[in-house]
Amino acid sequence: MKKAIFLFISLSLLLIGCSNNNTEQSVAAENQSDTTNSSNTIPSYYNDYILNPQVSDDRFIQDVGESFRDKRGELTLQAIKNDSQTYKIDSIELTIREAKILHFKPDYGLIDFFHSYTHDEEFDFVKMFAEIKNTSDTPLKFAPAAIVSTSSGEKKTWEDDIYLEELNGEIGANETKKGNVGFIIKKSKIDFIEITTSDVFNEKEEKISDAEKVKLEF
């Protein structure tokens, strides 16, 4: 991955960062009244996670066929992989806690947001909940999913991420980030996805480690 990816990422984060943070806080408060028919409990790795303002809450749904509806729309789980795997890329520890394929019917008020990704009023997407830890004493720059490829031949880049949870870019010394990345796909019946991370860069934009490829099978 070329280091130019971070120039584009940084610009995007500047434009959306402040508005997303405010929106996420209000969404988190609203969702305290949301309910689900699932008997599942929220996995512990979601502790302190702030709910996304664009995509419905999928934390409860852990069994294929389950659905959940909230103010952002309705999600139905089509496939899941929830055995955590950790990958070490120089001083970065990337843990994929879960991967899911979901069908989403967004609320009418969110249709315009998703029109920049698809013109379908409901769609399938693949998402990963990731934790990124910088184990070094200096800031680093990294993106957990620079490219995502599916077994059906679809390919997505970090620019297609619908969650926008600021996992890309700089991560401080000994800092941990966690959140979702997700990508709309045309074919939900897939056997696996392959994630290509970015390279790892230091503060001076010097590459210190090559990208890693991670294969997740459903």
Task: Judge whether residue 21 has pLDDT over 70.
Answer: no
Which of 179, 176, 186, 65 has its CA nearest to residue 123? Answer: 186
Task: Judge whether residue 38 has pLDDT over 90.
Answer: no
Task: Judge whether residue 35 has pLDDT over 50.
Answer: no
pLDDT-derived band at 25, boundaries 50, 70, 90: very low
Q: What is the pLDDT of residue 40?
A: 81
Residues 6+ apart with CB under 8 A from 159: 8
Q: What is the pLDDT of residue 140?
A: 98
Q: Hey, where are the domains in the chain? A: 4-217
Residues 6+ apart with CB under 8 A from 24: 50, 51, 52, 53
Class at the top of the CATH hierarchy for domain 4-217: mainly beta
Backbone phi, then psi, for 193, in 5-degree steps? -125, 150
Burial class (CB in 10 A: 0-12, 13-18, 19+), 139: middle
Residue 23, number of CB atoms within 10 A of its CB:
15
Torsion of CA 206, 97, 154, 168, to 10 degrees: -30
Entry pTM: 0.82
Q: What is the pLDDT of residue 28?
A: 43
Task: Judge whether residue 57 has pLDDT over 90.
Answer: yes
pLDDT in tens, 62-84: 999 999 999 999 999 999 999 99
CB of 124 closer than 8 Å to CB of 188: yes
